[in-house]
Structure 1
Amino acid sequence: MTRAPVLDVLLPHPEVPGRPARLAPRDDEAQLVALLDEYSPRAAPLRGAGSARVVRANMIATLDGAATGPDHVTGSINGAADLRVFRSLRALADVVLVGAGTARQERYRELDLPDALVETRRAHGRPAPLELAVVTRSGDVPEELLEGDRPAVVVTAGSCPRLRALQDRLPADRLVVAGDETVDLAATLDALEARGLPSVLAEGGPALLGDLVTASLVDELCLTWSPTLVGGPAPRIVAGTPWLTPPRTARLVHLLHADGVLLGRWDLRAAAVLDA
Structure 2
Amino acid sequence: MAPEDREWSLDELAEAYAYPEPGPGEPAPWLRANMVSTLDGAAQHDGRSQPISNATDMRIFGTLRGLADVVLVGAETVRQEGYRPARARAEFAERREAAGQGPAPAIAIVSASLDLDFSLPLFTSPLVPTLVLTGAAAAPDRIATAEKAGARVVIAGDGMGVEPARAVRALAELGHTRLLTEGGPRLLGQLVAAGVLDELCLTVSPLLTAGDAQRIAGGPSVAVPHRFTLVSLLEEGGFLYGRYGRA
TM-score by length of 1: 0.81
**What corresponds to 1:42 in structure 2?**
20
Q: Distance in 1 between matches of 2:21 and 2:227?
A: 19
Q: Distance in 1 between matches of 2:181 and 2:87?
A: 16
State the aligned residue count: 242
Name the CA shift for 1:173/1:194 in 2 (closer, same or farther; >3 Å). farther
Letter in 2 for 1:31: S
Q: Would the aligned equivalents of 1:44 and 1:219 in 2 still touch at CA under 8 Å? A: no
Q: CA deviation at 1:193?
A: 1.0
**What corresponds to 1:246 in structure 2?**
224
Pick which of 117-126 and 182-191 moved more. Answer: 117-126
Q: CA deviation at 1:140?
A: 1.0
Q: Distance in 2 between matches of 1:62 and 1:251?
A: 20
Q: Distance in 2 between matches of 1:177 and 1:63?
A: 38
1:147 to 115, 119, 124: 124
Q: CA deviation at 1:267?
A: 0.3
Q: Distance in 2 between matches of 1:113 and 1:230?
A: 34
Deviations 1:52-77 (CA, angstroms, capped at 9, x unpaired)? 311000000000000001x2100111
**What corresponds to 2:105 in structure 1?**
130
1:210 to 189, 192, 197: 189
Runs of 4+ in structure 1 over 4 Å off? none
Q: CA deviation at 1:125?
A: 4.5
**What corresponds to 2:164 in structure 1?**
185
SS at match of 1:37: helix
Name the CA shift for 1:266/1:235 in 2 (closer, same or farther; >3 Å). same
Q: Would the aligned equivalents of 2:40 and 2:210 in 1 still touch at CA under 8 Å? A: yes
Name the CA shift for 1:50/1:121 in 2 (closer, same or farther; >3 Å). closer
Deviations 1:13-63 (CA, angstroms, capped at 9, x unpaired)? xxxxxxxx67x625xxx7001100111011577xx9523311000000000
- Residue 89 (str. 1) matches residue 64 (str. 2): yes
Q: Would the aligned equivalents of 1:87 and 1:113 in 2 still touch at CA under 8 Å? A: no
Q: CA deviation at 1:169?
A: 4.0
**What corresponds to 2:33 in structure 1?**
57
**What corresponds to 1:25 in structure 2?**
6
**What corresponds to 2:147 in structure 1?**
170
Q: Distance in 1 between matches of 2:98 and 2:238?
A: 32
Q: CA RMSD in A?
A: 2.2
SS at match of 1:170: helix
1:231 to 195, 204, 210: 210
Unaligned runs of 5+ residues in structure 1 are 1-6, 9-20, 271-276
Q: Which has the larger radius of gyration?
A: 1
Q: Distance in 2 between matches of 1:142 and 1:222?
A: 29
SS at match of 1:68: coil
Q: Distance in 2 between matches of 1:81 and 1:93?
A: 18
Unaligned runs of 5+ residues in structure 2 are none
Q: Distance in 2 between matches of 1:249 and 1:92?
A: 25
Q: Would the aligned equivalents of 1:167 and 1:175 in 2 still touch at CA under 8 Å? A: no
Q: Distance in 1 between matches of 2:222 and 2:165?
A: 18
Q: Would the aligned equivalents of 1:66 and 1:235 in 2 still touch at CA under 8 Å? A: yes
SS at match of 2:9: helix
Q: Would the aligned equivalents of 1:103 and 1:142 in 2 still touch at CA under 8 Å? A: no
- Residue 261 (str. 1) matches residue 242 (str. 2): no
- Aligned-residue identity in percent: 39
- Residue 73 (str. 1) matches residue 54 (str. 2): no
Q: Distance in 2 between matches of 1:105 and 1:209?
A: 16
Q: CA deviation at 1:148?
A: 3.1
